[in-house]
Amino acid sequence: MEPMIPLRIAVLTISDTRTDETDRSGQALVERLTQAGHQLVEKRIVPDDVYIIRAVVAQWIADPAVQGVITTGGTGFTGRDSTPEAVRVLLDKPIEGFGERFRQLSGEEIGSSTIQSRCLGGLANATVIFCLPGSTGACRTGWDGILAEQLDSRHKPCNFANLVIPERGQHG
């Protein structure tokens, strides 16, 4: 079997209340991506503010050292939830199936409440971006059920890793 090509991934927690000590969702994503062999480029926590979120994600999209961005938080319907509004405008190509598949998996766990999840994914400047809900359970669901395979360059018949790995020549 061919070796996995690790990706350089940044993690952004969007919360008005979490700190490094209380950010279990961001920590879960960092643990899972590093255990899978990927490299954590940076982890940050920002308030649920559309312009701050957009600025950080845009900075990572422009940075050639970052191949993937995973956010957690701000995807619900409460007053300050604004991650989809912040990130959607930055995407060159949305990944419609990501939100659909996440809600399908999540529905098995939390039932109809999953319809309130506005998680999304997309590609921008050869960077893959995934926005997950803020709960640790949702982050586990998103990573274990979708991202673990889709960020693995060995996964067949296709994966997103091969779109952001320059030596594969499939991005641009």
| Per-residue model confidence as pLDDT tens digits over 94-143 | 999 999 999 999 989 898 988 889 999 999 999 999 999 999 999 999 99
Considering the four listed CATH numbers 3.40.980.10, 3.40.50.1820, 3.90.650.10, 3.90.870.10, the one that applies to the domain covering 8-168 is 3.40.980.10
Cβ(164)–Cβ(171) below 8 Å: yes
The answer, yes or no, to whether residue 169 has pLDDT greater than 60, is: no
Q: What is the pLDDT of residue 4?
A: 92
Chain centre to alpha carbon of residue 159: 14
Between 156 and 169, the higher pLDDT residue: 156
**Rounded Cα gap, residues 90 and 50, in angstroms:** 12
**Rounded Cα gap, residues 118 and 28, in angstroms:** 20
Q: What is the pLDDT of residue 128?
A: 98
The answer, yes or no, to whether residue 168 has pLDDT greater than 70, is: no
**Rounded Cα gap, residues 50 and 83, in angstroms:** 7
Instruction: Give 53-70 pLDDT, tens digit per residue.
Output: 999 999 999 999 999 999
CA 53 to each of CA 61, 141, 145, 162: distance values in angstroms, whole numbers, following the listed order:
12, 23, 25, 26
Q: What is the pLDDT of residue 170?
A: 45
**Rounded Cα gap, residues 41 and 2, in angstroms:** 24
Q: What is the edge-to-edge ordering of all strands in the sheet holding 127-132?
A: 39-46, 8-14, 68-72, 127-132, 120-124, 93-94
Domains in the chain: boundaries: 8-168
Percent of all residues in the chain with a pLDDT value above 90, rounded to a whole number: 84
- What the block records as the tokens of 18 is 């979490």
**Rounded Cα gap, residues 10 and 71, in angstroms:** 8
The answer, yes or no, to whether residue 167 has pLDDT greater than 80, is: no
The pLDDT mean for the chain works out to: 93
Block residue for tokens 């920590």:
27
